[in-house]
């Protein structure tokens, strides 16, 4: 199911003018604050009508100003989860979930309540009220309520923006499970690259109300031609690996990757499970040949693909590691001293502690 957007809309002194197609899976709207991400969600949900344009989901037109079509928001079958959860404070978690289920009505595809509760780990929370929940727990309930309404599209407006680091770490695995099991397209707004890398299939880069790039998450985040959009302090790349046999117990999990093995400080991983890692460019060092005895245990065979121009004494290097892209950020003088160039075989070194979940 594809979301097609081609709109122009003015809100106060800000103008949103963009067009893109988002395929099935999780599409992240990524960009700085004020780039128009939440405004776009409101247009998709029907909370606002664009001044001009067309929005369609799965071939069904939600709004088309040229023909006068505008489906009311309550008939769009879209779930919307806001930053602040917006649970009913006088209701228990169970009652909040029941409220969402009322909107499913007689739709052909109705979520199983027990599966949603299990998916989001809500069983122990059902009798509690929102005031007794942590921020992460509230967001899990809000997502469950939205899923039980049987939406054909789920909108997530920075669901972790108001959470501290610990609560973000708590909710991220649940969002990943929703991505894998919900079976509906998800539009996820974020300005956090690690979050986008872990959850998204497709990324729409936005700035100043415009789309600057659209593409698969691994491909787009590893590009060197997108400037500050992705090459900020937390720039990096997505690697996909498989939990190796014998990694169920202990504090260290071994991951198999085509370019080598990775040791990460994760617990309770099931062997054979495919996982995503977001590796920041600043955490990747390079060595010529096979390095000797080092404290860095993760070593991947790599080939330099591209080197960016120097900026403020720093250069970005895009590597090929077993068919996937990996970024390394090094001092420009290092590039010259080591003779780094496209086509050169190197060893990529990644600290295990840099891969904490």
What digits encode the pLDDT tens for the residues 296-327?
989 999 999 999 999 889 999 999 999 999 99
**Residue 163: phi, psi to the nearest 5?**
-100, 150
pLDDT in tens, 166-193: 788 778 888 888 888 888 889 999 888 8
Residue 189 and residue 35: Cα distance in Å, rounded? 11
With pLDDT > 70 as the criterion, what percentage of the chain qualifies? 94
Written as six digits, the tokens of 171 are 């909710």
At residue 189, the pLDDT reads 94
User: Which residue stretches of 189-331 are H helix?
Assistant: 193-199, 217-221
Angle, in degrees to the nearest 10, between helices 93-102 and 135-148:
30
Please give the Cα distance from 225 to 300 (Å, whole number).
Answer: 24
Number of Cβ within a 10 Å radius of residue 347: 18
pLDDT value at position 230? 55
Please spell the DSSP secondary structure of 295-315, one letter per residue: S--EEEEEEEEEEPPPBTTEE
| In the block, residue with structure tokens 């509690």 | 128
Which three-class secondary structure state does DSSP give residue 75? Answer: helix
pLDDT over threshold 70, residue 201: yes
3-state secondary structure of 78: strand
CA atoms within 13 A on the CB side of 314: 12
Sign of CA pseudo-dihedral 104, 105, 110, 115: positive
Distance between CA atoms of residues 196 and 206, nearest Å: 13
**Strand-pair category, 253-257 with 236-243:** antiparallel
Residue 258 CB burial class (10 angstroms; 0-12, 13-18, ≥19): middle
Q: According to the model, what pLDDT value does residue 303 have?
A: 97
The pLDDT of residue 87: 94
Q: Which helix (H) or strand (E) holds 180?
A: helix 165-181
pLDDT in the model for residue 248: 56
Q: Are 213 and 206 in contact (CB under 8 A)?
A: no
Instruction: Assess contact for 315 and 332: CB atoms under 8 A.
Output: yes
48 close to 42: Cβ distance less than 8 angstroms: yes
Tokens of 19: 């067009």
Distance CA 265, CA 254 (A): 9
194 vs 283, more confident = 283
pLDDT at 63 over 70: yes
Domains of the chain, each with CATH number or no CATH = 3-221 (3.40.50.300), 236-355 (2.40.50.100)
Candidate from 32-36, 70-74, 198-202, 234-238 with smallest mean pLDDT: 234-238
> What per-residue confidence (pLDDT) applies to 16?
95
Q: What is the pLDDT of residues 253-292, one digit of tens each?
A: 899 999 999 999 887 778 898 888 889 999 999 999 888 8
Is residue 105 scored above 80 in pLDDT? no
pLDDT given for residue 227 in this prediction: 52
pLDDT value at residue 233: 56
> What average pLDDT does the segment 129-153 reach?
93
Residue count (the chain): 357
Q: What is the pLDDT of residue 159?
A: 87
**Measured distance between the N- and C-terminal CA atoms of the chain, rounded to whole angstroms:** 31
* CB 5 within 8 Å of CB 55: yes
The answer to whether 326 and 237 have CB atoms below 8 angstroms apart is yes
Q: Is the pLDDT of residue 44 over 90?
A: yes
**Which pLDDT value is given to residue 39?**
94
């Amino acid at each position: 199911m594809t979301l097609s957007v081609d709109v122009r809309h003015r809100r106060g002194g800000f103008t949103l003018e963009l067009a893109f197609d988002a395929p099935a899976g999780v599409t992240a709207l990524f960009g700085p604050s004020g780039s128009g991400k939440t405004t776009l969600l409101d247009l998709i949900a029907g909370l606002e009508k664009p001044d001009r344009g067309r929005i369609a989901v799965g071939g069904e037109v939600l709004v088309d100003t040229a023909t006068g079509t505008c489906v009311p928001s309550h008939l769009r079958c879209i779930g919307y989860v806001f930053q602040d959860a917006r649970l009913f404070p006088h209701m228990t978690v169970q009652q909040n979930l029941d409220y969402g289920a009322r909107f499913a009505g007689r739709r052909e595809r109705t979520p199983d309540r027990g599966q949603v509760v299990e998916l989001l780990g809500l069983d122990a929370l059902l009798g509690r009220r929102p005031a007794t929940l942590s921020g992460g727990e509230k967001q899990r309930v809000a997502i469950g309520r939205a899923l039980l309404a049987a939406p054909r599209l789920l909108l997530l407006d920075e669901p972790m923006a108001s959470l501290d680091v610990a609560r973000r770490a708590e909710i991220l695995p649940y969002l990943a499970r929703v991505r894998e099991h919900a079976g509906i397209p998800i539009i996820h707004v974020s300005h956090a690259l690690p979050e986008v890398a872990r959850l998204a299939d497709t990324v729409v880069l936005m700035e100043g109300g415009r789309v600057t790039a659209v593409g698969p998450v691994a491909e787009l985040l590893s590009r060197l031609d997108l400037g500050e959009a992705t090459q900020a302090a937390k720039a990096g790349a997505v690697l996909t690996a498989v939990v190796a046999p014998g990694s169920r117990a202990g504090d260290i999990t071994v991951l198999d990757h085509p370019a080598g093995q990775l040791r990460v400080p994760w617990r309770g991983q099931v062997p054979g499970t495919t996982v995503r890692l977001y590796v920041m460019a600043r955490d990747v060092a390079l060595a010529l040949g096979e390095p000797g005895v080092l404290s860095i245990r993760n070593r991947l065979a790599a080939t330099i693909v591209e080197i960016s121009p120097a900026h403020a004494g720093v250069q970005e290097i895009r590597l090929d590691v077993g068919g996937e892209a990996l970024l390394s950020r090094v001092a420009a003088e290092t590039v010259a001293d080591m003779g780094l160039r496209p086509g050169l075989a190197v060893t990529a070194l990644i600290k295990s502690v840099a891969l904490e979940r």
